[in-house]
């Protein structure tokens, strides 16, 4: 392998002005870890967009290589679980936030952060799922644990044309749920219907003034938006229902009341993909390999090269990205 490799480096000067540049690094530049991986594929997530544009304080160490997930091949390991040649996936653990991340042809990380690439799945396919799809599966698993089965009634997915939303729609529909997809992009109706949405509603239906309790519309939901959207979703959730919340594209606030919780027994299920235990990750990836239609996975994703990362990062923050963006690093 060459001594140097390309990486995107986010830096900040003494005045805290952020800059982004493509640099040549060596393995000596990488951070501590017991496994080195040749990165074959990565993705552009909303969090990556925030890190590169500086529109939110995602980066907490300077300078930093962003990129919160990758798939690749182990090139060196001092960890007992991994050997040279193993195919692995990484999601979260502060990678791309406090630890050098995926926007580099090589990464050095802790072996405990890795999970095996499911058999029959390519690195490209794994990153078409990526952290967004893995998070969507965590949401589905949480709803299942709460007893929200298909026969309980419809489930709503907010931000449905985004990364988390697209995969959530695809998985839930394959599992037999009646999926109500909420989006602010009317042009994406056919896309969402093809993924399996039974209904597509306008985002405006969930962005108006929040009532303590509104008409019951669904048994559960997957929310990647937060703020007023999540508050409205909760107010419209049926008795004993549950909503899995995993994102904040619309804001970190929650202008709700206790009414859905104490008068309808609604549960708000918080989903964290960054620090999820390894056994949960293994189960999520096992389920992804069986419960996500490969044909739909292709419809979800667009592939770019390393040179397209910066433009895609800006576009995803501006809400101009549909589905998943896979970065082919080879």
In a domain, 279, yes or no: no
Looking at the fold, whether 145 and 244 belong to one and the same domain comes out as: yes
Asked if residue 139 and residue 265 are part of one domain, the reply reads: yes
Both tokens of residue 201? 């509603």
Please, are residues 142 and 268 in contact by the beta-carbon 8 Å criterion? no
pTM over 0.85: yes
**What tens digit of pLDDT does each residue of 2-24 get?**
689 999 999 999 999 999 999 99
User: Do 164 and 264 share a structural domain?
Assistant: yes
Radius of gyration, CA atoms only, the chain: 20
Share of the chain above pLDDT 70, in %: 99
| Mean pLDDT score, 207-227 | 97
Total domain count, the chain: 2
Which ranges of the chain does DSSP label H, i.e. alpha helix? 46-53, 123-145, 163-174, 189-195, 227-235, 259-263, 278-291, 294-300, 309-317
What pLDDT is attached to residue 297?
85
Of all residues in the chain, the percent with pLDDT exceeding 90 is 93
pLDDT of residue 151: 98
Give residue 298's pLDDT band: very low, low, confident or very high (50, 70, 90).
confident
Domain stops at, among 251, 270, 289: 270
Residues 137 and 262 placed together within one structural domain of the fold: yes
User: What CATH code is carried by the domain that includes residue 259?
Assistant: 3.40.50.720
- Angle (nearest 5°) at CA 134 between 270 and 322: 100
Residues 310 and 205 in one domain: no
Taking a C-beta distance cutoff of 8 angstroms, is the pair 110, 93 a contact? yes
- The verdict on residue 266 lying in a domain is yes
| Residues written for the chain | 330
Distances (CA, A) of 193 to 158, 183, 196, 208, 248: 14, 12, 5, 25, 24
Residues 6+ apart with CB under 8 A from 174: 196, 291, 292, 293, 296
> What is the token pair recorded at 164?
């988390």
pLDDT reading at 115 higher than 80? yes
Does the residue 212 lie in any domain?
Answer: yes
pLDDT of 119 > 80? The answer is yes
Structural domain boundaries enclosing 46: 5-117+298-328
pLDDT for 255 beyond 90 = yes
153, 85: one domain: no
Residue 129 has pLDDT above 90, yes or no: yes
* 321 and 251, same domain (yes or no): no
Is 201 exposed, middle or buried (CB count within 10 Å of its CB: 0-12, 13-18, 19+)?
A: middle
Burial pattern 223-256, b for ≥16 Cβ within 10 A else e, equals bbbbbbbbbbbbbbbbeebbbbbbbbbbeeebeb
139 in the same domain as 109: no
> Please, what is the Cα angle at 274 between 180 and 112, to 5 degrees?
135
């Amino acid at each position: 392998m060459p001594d140097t490799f390309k990486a995107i480096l986010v830096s900040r000067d003494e005045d805290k002005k952020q800059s982004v540049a493509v640099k040549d690094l060596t393995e000596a530049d990488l951070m501590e870890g017991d496994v080195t991986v040749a990165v074959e594929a990565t993705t552009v997530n909303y969090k990556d967009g925030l890190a590169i544009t500086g529109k939110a304080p995602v980066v907490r160490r300077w300078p930093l290589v962003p990129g919160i997930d990758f798939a690749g091949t182990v090139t060196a390991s001092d960890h007992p679980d991994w050997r040279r040649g193993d195919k692995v996936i990484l999601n979260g653990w502060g990678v791309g936030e406090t630890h050098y991340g995926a926007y580099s042809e090589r990464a050095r990380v802790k072996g405990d952060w890795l999970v095996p690439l499911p058999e029959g799945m390519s690195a490209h396919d794994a990153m078409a799922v990526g952290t967004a799809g893995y998070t969507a599966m965590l949401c589905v698993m949480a709803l299942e644990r709460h007893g929200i089965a298909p026969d309980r009634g419809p489930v709503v997915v907010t931000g449905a044309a985004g990364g988390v939303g697209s995969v959530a729609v695809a998985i839930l529909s394959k599992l037999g749920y009646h999926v109500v997809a909420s989006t602010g992009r009317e042009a994406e109706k056919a896309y969402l219907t093809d993924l399996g949405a039974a209904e597509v509603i306008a985002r405006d239906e969930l962005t108006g003034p929040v009532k303590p309790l509104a008409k019951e519309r669904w048994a559960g939901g997957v929310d990647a938006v937060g703020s007023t959207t999540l508050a409205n979703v909760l107010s419209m959730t049926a008795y004993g229902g549950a909503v899995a919340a995993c994102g904040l594209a619309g804001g970190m606030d929650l202008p709700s009341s206790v009414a859905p919780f104490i008068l309808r027994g609604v549960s708000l299920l918080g989903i964290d993909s960054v620090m999820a235990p390894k056994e949960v990750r293994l189960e999520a990836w096992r389920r992804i390999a069986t419960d996500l239609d490969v044909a739909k996975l292709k419809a979800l994703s667009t592939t770019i090269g390393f040179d397209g990362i910066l433009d895609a990062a800006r576009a995803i923050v501006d809400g101009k990205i549909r589905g998943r963006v896979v970065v082919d690093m080879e």
